[in-house]
Amino acid sequence: MKSTDPPKVTFLDYNESAHPGYKLSCLAIGTPPIYTAVTRNSTVLVNTSNTASIHVYKEGNYSCVATSRYGTASRELSVSFVGENVFD
């Protein structure tokens, strides 16, 4: 890694068909400091300088956005629940 690498984003242990309460974790690598956020419908759910993790209780589209002075990276994913009652 060069000393000015832009962030790269990955979801850890991602499963598109999950159960309510599923832990969604987003990891960003690159030249620090990197600020990582998880959003849903343009609302920031968590914003941290470490791995961003949330427990998912709503189906929908989630995004992971990593920002540093060397750039921005993002990934989107869709979460749907299986075999459980869905929370609104």
pLDDT at residue 87 tops 60: no
List the one residue out of 77, 61, 86 whose CA is nearest residue 15: 77
Q: Which domains does the chain have, with CATH numbers?
A: 8-80 (2.60.40.10)
Residue in this structure with the two tokens 């002075």, named with its chain if needed: 69
For residue range 67-76, list pLDDT tens digits in order: 999 999 999 9
pLDDT digits (tens, 9 = 90+) for 18-58: 788 888 899 999 999 999 999 999 899 999 998 999 999 99
Would you give the DSSP letter of residue 50?
S
In terms of average pLDDT, the best of 3-17, 56-70, 71-85 is 56-70
